[in-house]
Amino acid sequence: MASGVEYLHVLIFECVGCSRPLAVIRVTGFRNLEPTDGEWFSLDCPCGWQKEVHGFEARRHWATEWWLSETALSMMLCEQLNLQFTNYLLTGDRSE
């Protein structure tokens, strides 16, 4: 089975409403942070606070090598595509 090393990006945002840490993970083919910094993320805190934020607004952002099976990779890419599609429906954002 084919598989490969991707880069797992972990972004920690802080809820403006309650200061709770909100973690987002993203798998990309890039180690550098800039492409993920430019992406939009939809934050939804249990306290009720919601916001669309850019990756660069994260309190912490790091990337690490992550080995993924082809199955996991295709599933995660599917989830990301669904998320982008949902964002598109919600915001009409055509930037991606």
Q: Are 83 and 25 in contact (CB under 8 A)?
A: no
Under rule CB under 5 A, residue 45 binds Zn ion = yes
Window of 10-18, 34-42, 67-75, 78-86 that interacts with Zn ion by CB under 5 A? 10-18
Through-space distance between the first and last CA atoms of the chain, rounded to whole angstroms: 30
Alpha helices in 1-96 (DSSP H): 34-37, 70-91
Tokens coding 81: 């595509």
Q: Which C-beta is closer to Zn ion: that of 17 or that of 35?
A: 17
Under rule CB under 5 A, residue 22 binds Zn ion = no
Under rule CB under 5 A, residue 15 binds Zn ion = yes
Count of residues that bind Zn ion according to CB under 5 A: 7
Under rule CB under 5 A, residue 35 binds Zn ion = no
